[in-house]
Structure 1
């Protein structure tokens, strides 16, 4: 019996992460894969860029060649088709265009985490790439998960208060993405604002989660973990709101349970977070 004839056992849900590598393990592709595993989802990965970093900072970023990215993507997805996809750090307009073209034929949910800057303040996207995110990647996305800063750049509008969130979300809807989750902090509370638009001109349905702000201190990777946790839910056939609510509980537990490693920023302990939110 050759490999193509090998009987397959029960299929686990599969999620593909398309992201950069964080060799310190707290963010990027490494954090995505840990999070997916915590939710019982098989994670596959296609790399877009390499970083030289540890818990104290990012020292360098090296983009992969487009043909190498495409070879990774084709090789992995032809053998392990994903039930959901998430994107993270993409770096350049050229990479974003390549990723968007690769994802366009897929029929599964696509979560875009529009990573623009590291926890240490190191830019991991160039100016031209912001426009490419807006015009090329958002139209193929099912959900985009920007923080306040990222939403302002993508929507080209200022967010000074909660009242500005629907305006920013509407502008992102106009780029073709049906679901927008903006993460923001105002004073001493955290706000996650979800906007869902089913048609081009339909009035969006919105939902807001407001919680007391938890000071995570020098913690990085929270955005990666949240978007990966949402992707895990979608890969497991959860509806979007349920996937977001579970992911929020997971991240909240993770912020309270950081790995204090190295001499710089901490990372979420996904195992401890899963004990509190998934396996209880």
Structure 2
């Protein structure tokens, strides 16, 4: 009989929707977390019928069942970080906000509000419900379109992204990462993606929030499905391992370039990013 030789990784939890096509949602989250040596648990908020060509149907789960899943995980695991993704309805957003209110560890909020097509995914009530969840976040990670929804102002340039990040920090988030993939290419150069991190932690010179910009090569592909999920999950995993927000974002943003470059060419539509390359040395 062989000797039992287990590993004891940190545990991170994703609270998000399921992607039947496998490229985003809980499926991408768990892959990204495990690529970083973190055990991933999950709370499913909705099931979807989707593939590489698009979303055909969404079925939000009852908020009380979402709460039951969360309670089951929290009762058994020492959760070191939580990441939220698609929350689907105002009731689920409010339920999740209540569930994490006493959570004493990093919370990464990926406010999945706008599809790649530009279509709004949530009702106005659900969008409004995000305000309290954003205020509870260690880090909120909107793309430019989602930052515009959260702040009410257009986000088209890196300067706009910084302004949005500052506003999200003013709303209560410890930090905001406004992703630059959807920014106007003419504003940043067609070959570069600029992600902007604003941290409430003060800048010693200005006395205001600290602002960092990360420039990475833009990959010539439409196959970016799951990039936001994988990025926020990679950051959550690194926070679960005890890294700083600045350090976790720096590494995860750099890794995403390779995850997109080495993406999955599957299905008849644009493929998906490859979270398995995250965490590679």
Q: TM-score, normalised by structure 2?
A: 0.90
Partner of 1:47: 44
Partner of 1:112: 109
In structure 2, relative to structure 1, the CA distance for the partners of 1:256 and 1:9 (3 Å cut) is closer
Deviations 1:91-127 (A, max 9, x none): 1111100000000110010000000133355543222
**Structure 2 residue 225 is matched with structure 1 residue 220:** yes
Pairing partner for 2:125 from 109, 123, 128: 128
SS of the residue aligned with 2:179? strand
Partner of 1:3: none
Pairing partner for 1:157 from 147, 153, 156: 153
Counterpart Cα distance in 1 of 2:211 and 2:118: 31
SS of the residue aligned with 1:51? strand
CA contact (8 A) 1:61 1:124 kept: no
CA contact (8 A) 2:218 2:257 kept: no
In structure 2, relative to structure 1, the CA distance for the partners of 1:11 and 1:218 (3 Å cut) is closer
Structure 2 unaligned runs (5+)?
A: none
Deviations 1:130-184 (A, max 9, x none): 11112x2112111000000100110111223222223211221121101000012
Pairing partner for 1:195 from 198, 205, 218: 198
Partner of 1:253: 258
**Structure 2 residue 261 is matched with structure 1 residue 264:** no
CA contact (8 A) 2:89 2:122 kept: yes
Deviations 1:167-223 (A, max 9, x none): 211221121101000012332121110101138xx6101101123322331330000
SS of the residue aligned with 1:220? coil
Deviations 1:210-244 (A, max 9, x none): 23322331330000010011011001111111111
CA RMSD of aligned residues (A): 1.9
How many aligned positions are there? 267
Structure 1 unaligned runs (5+)?
A: 1-7
Pairing partner for 2:134 from 131, 134, 138: 138
Partner of 2:69: 72
Partner of 2:78: 81
